[in-house]
Structure 1
């Protein structure tokens, strides 16, 4: 009974304010339906296990009632939009149905924000900017401290929303929140990161530089990281004095809505954080609205190039992270067990729906003989609903995504690849209507095949064979993408040669997904994986993106402080 009372208790704010739709929609249902003993025990075990694995002992999750199953939601409510620290029901006539990927049951309806709503969000952000810009850095830092603490407290709730809407396993969804949380934590050190410079350039004359906020900025977020990508943008943009318009993916906005609630609770003034919804119409508005000074985007090639080109033409700053085809070169001297485990985890985790998924193996020399063992280990992964205990990967985001993935698998077979492991048609017994694709491995792939040239964005590993390290480097460098790459070797000389000659933004040495931590480092894609000139996310480059450098040169003559007469000589500034 004690456990039941803990799980059923909700925050007072959850009862006073409009619900945060997709993640909190079933709260009323859950509170009115007592938990069975077995369900309570299961929920407690899951919460305890994930908390122990991901969180320090002192950062326990606040017990709030939220969905931890894929059960059908009766009368799913609509997702609201967020403006001036209020959740508002949209007046739109156009709604986007959001389905649980594990069941395809309706979870919520997401509005296509109206023209008036889009304008109102920018009005609110523009009105809030002067006062927020004038707010001291220390005051903004204190709000960020509170925001970080609230994210930690609501960690499980955010992860549950991601699992329900996006399909990730609960543990992987916790990792999604964690990597965004690290950016917010780093933003708390803004007082040491935003310092300027000063130089006495000549007698009684100095030049100083400092960074100022841009104004209203916007972030267009993808479906595959519903918490991490908003948290790449919101903390850095706001702590530097900007106000922000967030457009979460219409496929899974719930986590972003929870973040808006927490931002309000942390003390962000009304208008500093705002959320609008929709698809192409909303994107075009963000690009064209002159008061929005900068746009952050993570997503597909086509959309990213469009946003970058059109936004840049209108004089906006644009950072756009696009597609990827991340390779790993496996050297014959690599630690076999470590390499296989790393490859399987990085290729199939999150059902392959990561821009840094390790989707392409370059087998050097005799390492191609490892492929049957890689396939055997991949076949042992548990494909299931994201809330199921022991699940290694869940469904892909939609039926359309599943169809595209399966089509690319078949294209590989048709073009001569060997289907070493086939995950098509996989249906967990409990979820026959979900968007599931099991781990799939295609070997003997060549660079001319469609399955190699296209970003599959699913749990599919394509494997190519080469003879030497030089061949591996040449093959990888010929690919148009350059997000990330890895090499598995026990030779320091081999690793050094690889990291020097390879053309990719992020290089892992015995590390399959080498995304840097959000300290002074940035997410550094390369080639066609990023649009723009080093407009990278978070870290030092993130601060530079969201601020404008200003230099001031001043001349205060020392003799003027005590001068008793004027001088007529031409000044030489000696």
Structure 2
């Protein structure tokens, strides 16, 4: 075991778990044992909430201009430890070093945005009548929780941690039990940066911990990122307990490709979208809608996919069961009549035979009713459905229950605008395969890719993590009285 047993982080201290249930933490790169992670319970959650409650009055009373100083220092620590943090992401998540470094760079950007919040949260003030003014002020919610997935063990926690804490809340975070190590480094760096004890707490665990978070009466709000199936459950359970909940689910992102698309740019961009992070991201392209005669582009996509080599510039999928599930989708599509142009099944990387690898896979002549065209595969797999018109392609896209992202590849501005307006998704890319907004623009999908109001990042997150107070003031009696005062 390379690393010591993972501990809970409560009230500024790394502590042994109150329970004796553990899971092994295995590296997807080679199947080696990295550590073991405790599976907490409602007792652990309650201990963390108590610590967060105790810390909240003191932390929330600090002016935001002073709270944010912790995150300036924390941002410097992210830069200082960029290499080691990236290496840890590779080990526990299976990413390439390039992808892991980009993840830390995004963490820095998200923290940088949080450092700008003092300039974005100033209240409004207006003289609404003679001698009467109204103003608004934002206040933190209290103890909040964030439940995060395996695919971005550092970045997704940074969607919530900096903003929620700078805005004055205290937090419990529940990382994926498959990748618990990166969040532990985050906790250590926050403490080093000067964050007071109890403001940030970690509870490791499984379904039991998620349910305890949803049920705890002293947690005011929950953010969740994961599958749609679980997102629905968290949203229903959390809101039924009168909590504010924002739950992000899965995706089935469609790329509409027209004959006038620039072939080389389109091919390299699509393959990067399909294979980046081994396809294990909710913004990955997974279904290409080929409009008209685009065989020349599909040929280049296949050529580009063959340049992506598992164990070199393609990482591993998270687990053996994930590899089996992805390969099952491919085999079922082939059995149903689809044509495999590039086959990534049964991939073994020499020297890393214990790793979990799936090579780039391109599947043509997929019908829109096949499972691989409708469901989230979460692997480096592109299914191609042939369509005659843009309207037909949009009809297929609109019929899918998810709604994260749609991309269109064309040099026709009118068609690009048509797709942008008609796509039933929260994010659209024109000649961009992963249209993730940069700060201060917010990340968030539609339909069954998101449950709850507002978005998880950017300016929209300010409203989610705070509540608004309106203050109306009149001092001068000589101003007189009218219907407004």
User: TM-score range with shorter-chain normalisation?
Assistant: over 0.9
Higher mean C-alpha deviation, range 364-373 or range 107-116: 364-373
| Secondary structure class of the residue paired with 2:459 | helix
Q: Aligned-pair distance for 1:573?
A: 5.7
Q: Aligned-pair distance for 1:427?
A: 0.3
| Secondary structure class of the residue paired with 1:278 | coil
Q: How does 1:491-506 map to 2 (within 5 A)?
A: 491-506=412-427
**Does 1:117 find its partner at 2:41?**
no
> CA separation in 2, counterparts of 1:115 and 1:357?
35
Residue in structure 2 matched with residue 527 of structure 1 by the alignment:
447
Q: Are residues 417 and 200 of structure 1, via their aligned partners in 2, closer, same or farther at CA, if it must alter by over 3 Å?
A: same
> CA separation in 2, counterparts of 1:524 and 1:78?
35
Residue in structure 1 matched with residue 291 of structure 2 by the alignment:
364
| Secondary structure class of the residue paired with 2:436 | coil
**Are the aligned partners of 1:237 and 1:546 in contact in 2 as well (CA < 8 Å)?**
yes
Residue in structure 2 matched with residue 64 of structure 1 by the alignment:
none
| Secondary structure class of the residue paired with 1:366 | coil
Q: Are residues 571 and 466 of structure 1, via their aligned partners in 2, closer, same or farther at CA, if it must alter by over 3 Å?
A: closer
Aligned length, in residue pairs: 485
Alpha-carbon displacement from aligned partner over 1:21-76 (angstroms, at most 9, x marks no partner): xxxxxxxxxxxxxxxxxxxxxxxxxxxxxxxxxxxxxxxxxxxxxxxxxxxx45x5
Residue in structure 2 matched with residue 98 of structure 1 by the alignment:
25
| Secondary structure class of the residue paired with 1:87 | strand
> CA separation in 2, counterparts of 1:132 and 1:311?
25
1:219 to 146, 150, 163: 146
| Secondary structure class of the residue paired with 1:447 | coil
2:359 to 424, 438, 461: 438
Q: How does 1:99-178 map to 2 (within 5 A)?
A: 99-178=26-105
**Are the aligned partners of 2:41 and 2:208 in contact in 1 as well (CA < 8 Å)?**
no
| Secondary structure class of the residue paired with 1:497 | helix
| Secondary structure class of the residue paired with 1:539 | coil
2:392 to 471, 474, 498: 471
Alpha-carbon displacement from aligned partner over 1:88-136 (angstroms, at most 9, x marks no partner): 1224210011101121111000001244322111100000000111001
Residue in structure 2 matched with residue 70 of structure 1 by the alignment:
none
> CA separation in 2, counterparts of 1:372 and 1:514?
24
**Does 1:485 find its partner at 2:412?**
no
> CA separation in 1, counterparts of 2:268 and 2:152?
23
> CA separation in 1, counterparts of 2:274 and 2:465?
33
**Are the aligned partners of 2:404 and 2:445 in contact in 1 as well (CA < 8 Å)?**
yes
**Are the aligned partners of 1:382 and 1:393 in contact in 2 as well (CA < 8 Å)?**
yes
| Secondary structure class of the residue paired with 1:528 | helix
> CA separation in 1, counterparts of 2:443 and 2:180?
23
TM superposition score normalised by structure 1: 0.83
Residue in structure 2 matched with residue 292 of structure 1 by the alignment:
219
> CA separation in 1, counterparts of 2:43 and 2:253?
42
**Are the aligned partners of 2:42 and 2:208 in contact in 1 as well (CA < 8 Å)?**
no
> CA separation in 1, counterparts of 2:49 and 2:149?
21
**Does 1:512 find its partner at 2:437?**
no
Q: Are residues 432 and 573 of structure 1, via their aligned partners in 2, closer, same or farther at CA, if it must alter by over 3 Å?
A: closer
Alpha-carbon displacement from aligned partner over 1:393-416 (angstroms, at most 9, x marks no partner): 111000110111111111101111
Q: Are residues 570 and 302 of structure 1, via their aligned partners in 2, closer, same or farther at CA, if it must alter by over 3 Å?
A: closer
> CA separation in 2, counterparts of 1:461 and 1:571?
67
2:338 to 417, 423, 442: 417
Q: Aligned-pair distance for 1:200?
A: 1.2
**Are the aligned partners of 1:368 and 1:465 in contact in 2 as well (CA < 8 Å)?**
no
2:163 to 236, 243, 246: 236
| Secondary structure class of the residue paired with 2:110 | helix
> CA separation in 1, counterparts of 2:437 and 2:91?
28
Alpha-carbon displacement from aligned partner over 1:215-236 (angstroms, at most 9, x marks no partner): 0000000000000111000000
Q: Aligned-pair distance for 1:571?
A: 6.2
> CA separation in 1, counterparts of 2:228 and 2:386?
27
> CA separation in 2, counterparts of 1:163 and 1:87?
23
> CA separation in 2, counterparts of 1:541 and 1:96?
36
Alpha-carbon displacement from aligned partner over 1:246-273 (angstroms, at most 9, x marks no partner): 1111000111111111110111111001
Q: How does 1:78-89 map to 2 (within 5 A)?
A: 78-89=5-16
**Are the aligned partners of 2:263 and 2:296 in contact in 1 as well (CA < 8 Å)?**
no
**Are the aligned partners of 2:274 and 2:382 in contact in 1 as well (CA < 8 Å)?**
yes
Residue in structure 2 matched with residue 18 of structure 1 by the alignment:
none
Which structure's CA Rg is the greater one?
Answer: 1
Q: How does 1:268-287 map to 2 (within 5 A)?
A: 268-287=195-214
> CA separation in 2, counterparts of 1:101 and 1:570?
72
Q: Aligned-pair distance for 1:369?
A: 4.0
| Secondary structure class of the residue paired with 1:402 | helix
| Secondary structure class of the residue paired with 1:464 | strand
TM superposition score normalised by structure 2: 0.97
Alpha-carbon displacement from aligned partner over 1:299-324 (angstroms, at most 9, x marks no partner): 00111000001101111111111010
Residue in structure 2 matched with residue 544 of structure 1 by the alignment:
463
Q: How does 1:164-203 map to 2 (within 5 A)?
A: 164-203=91-130
Q: Aligned-pair distance for 1:372?
A: 2.9
Aligned alpha-carbon RMSD (Å): 1.5
Residue in structure 2 matched with residue 404 of structure 1 by the alignment:
325
Q: How does 1:51-62 map to 2 (within 5 A)?
A: none
Higher mean C-alpha deviation, range 250-259 or range 173-182: 173-182
**Are the aligned partners of 1:181 and 1:228 in contact in 2 as well (CA < 8 Å)?**
no
Higher relative contact order (CA 8 A, sep 6+): 2
> CA separation in 1, counterparts of 2:444 and 2:34?
35
